[in-house]
Amino acid sequence: MKPIEKTLTKKLAVVLVLKLAVLLALWWGFVREQRVTLDADRVAAQFLQPIATPAEGAKP
């Protein structure tokens, strides 16, 4: 590898590590404590909704 390619690779690696650290910090600060409670009846109702069909003569 040429010296320029080595420095570019190092800079890209540093940027990727910093980006990952920022994303992890944001997740840790804002998302980690969030919880979603699921109710079996609500999930079943969501999945078993009838599919809406277009009226006759209507273009899709």
pLDDT band at 3 (very low <50, low <70, confident <90, very high): confident
Helix (H, G, I), strand (E, B) or coil at 47: helix
| pLDDT of 37 | 87
Residues 13, 14, 18: CA angle, nearest 5 degrees: 120
Q: Which helix (H) or strand (E) holds 11?
A: helix 3-30
Q: Which helix (H) or strand (E) holds 18?
A: helix 3-30
Q: Are 6 and 13 in contact (CB under 8 A)?
A: no
Give per-residue pLDDT as tens, 25-54.
999 999 998 888 889 998 888 888 877 676
Q: Which residue has the higher pLDDT, 27 or 2?
A: 27
* Whether this model's pTM surpasses 0.85: no
Side chain identity at residue 25, one-letter code: A
| pLDDT of 58 | 61
